[in-house]
Amino acid sequence: MSLDTPNLIQEARRQIEICNACRYCEGFCSVFPAMTRQKAFADGDITHLANLCHNCRGCYYSCQYTPPHEFALNLPAALAEVRQDSWERLVWPQPLARAFHDSGVKIAAVLVLGFAALFAALAALRPEGGEGFYAHLAHNAMVAIFAPAFLVPLLGVAIGLRRYWTEVAAGPFRLRHLIGAVKQAAVLRDLSGGQGQGCNFEKEDRYSAARRHLHQAVLYGFLLCFAATSVATLMHYLLDMPAPYSLFSLPKLLGVPGGILLVIGTVGLGWLKTKADPKLGAVRVWGGEMAFVGLLGFVGASGLALYAATGTGAVAPLLALHLGAVLAFFLLLPFTKMVHGFFRLTALVAEEQKQGR
């Protein structure tokens, strides 16, 4: 446990107890109905409420107890600090958890460029008869590098989710709980505001659906890209249909729109973060969050550029850059804002369970 954890949880508890007495914001998002189930909050309860919060900030701009009131409530920031602390404490390996958020831009840039140089060097060992990307890097080399780089970080996330489930004292897992949580996550319900009018992330006391739509672009863009890779893998191994694939093949029909959505979503979210008040979030990790948005956007943009350059001399350097970015993204996954998706879905599953649905 971090030295800051008790203080962060205690401050969040103070604010939540005031909110629970007031209940003006009861219909805003999943946090406030969950809050009303009890009057006293254990540390795990605070962690759970923090991971239900989507930082839409509607409660802050509706609150009568924000500064300069003596209660000085800033619930979005208090929950953001606890939420960030929970990821850093629970995900394995713990000593690496804070590093990216302290020096995210430098770490991402060094890893992308370093891995790109590695892939450029490996290209010298490429097979003579390869086609498409495999003319620049052997398929077996890609598998040997990316399989562990994908699976080991997922193990670290899985360990963190198991620890989270234990900390928040969630009961037995049921499939119906997962189904209910996925339905909420699929539409990003809590980013629609209490009355469906949006949230106040970048416009203070004015509502906007921009953040919800951009999050959906990133979510579905990422899922489409992942589906494209998965389909291509199945086609390669099960149907003996190796790359390259045509524009109207399933991998491209999934991957190209996915890449476009990913770029649009990350550029938009980055822009929104520059418009929003950083004091209503976890101030310490603002740079790390922007570095993650930039890295994810670069993965999508470099993939699209690589496809557009097919058949030209630009393929070799673009392939090295794209693969370097993808490898950096996978290895950093447990320590970037990407991990919030796993924790938030788990929080929604736990909430379904706690409500006895």
> To which H or E segment does residue 161 belong?
helix 139-167
Alpha helices in 23-103 (DSSP H): 31-35, 43-52, 58-62, 75-90, 99-102
* pLDDT score at 195: 61
Distance CA 39, CA 173 (A): 25
Which sign does the torsion angle of CA 22, 47, 78, 218 carry? negative
Distance CA 184, CA 192 (A): 11
Which sign does the torsion angle of CA 203, 205, 209, 211 carry? positive
- One-letter amino acid identity for 216? Q
DSSP string covering 15-40: HHHHHHHH-TTTTSSSHHHHHTT-SS
* pLDDT score at 283: 92
Take residue 20 and report the two structure tokens written for it: 């629970």
Distance CA 264, CA 255 (A): 14
pTM: 0.90
Residues 165 and 41: beta-carbon distance below 8 Å: no
Domains of the chain by residue range: 5-89, 96-354
Ranges of residues in the chain with a pLDDT under 70 are 1-3, 125-136, 139, 193-196, 357
- Give Cβ neighbours of residue 303 (< 8 Å, ≥ 6 apart): 225, 255, 259, 322
Per the listing, tokens 């509706």 go with: 62
* pLDDT score at 101: 78
Q: Which long-range contacts (CB under 8 A, 24 or more apart) does 149-156 make?
A: 149/327, 149/330, 149/331, 150/330, 153/330, 153/331, 153/332, 153/333, 153/334, 154/333, 155/92, 156/91, 156/92, 156/93, 156/334
Preceding amide of 334 cis, omega within 30:
no
* pLDDT score at 290: 93
Take residue 173 and report the two structure tokens written for it: 């897992």
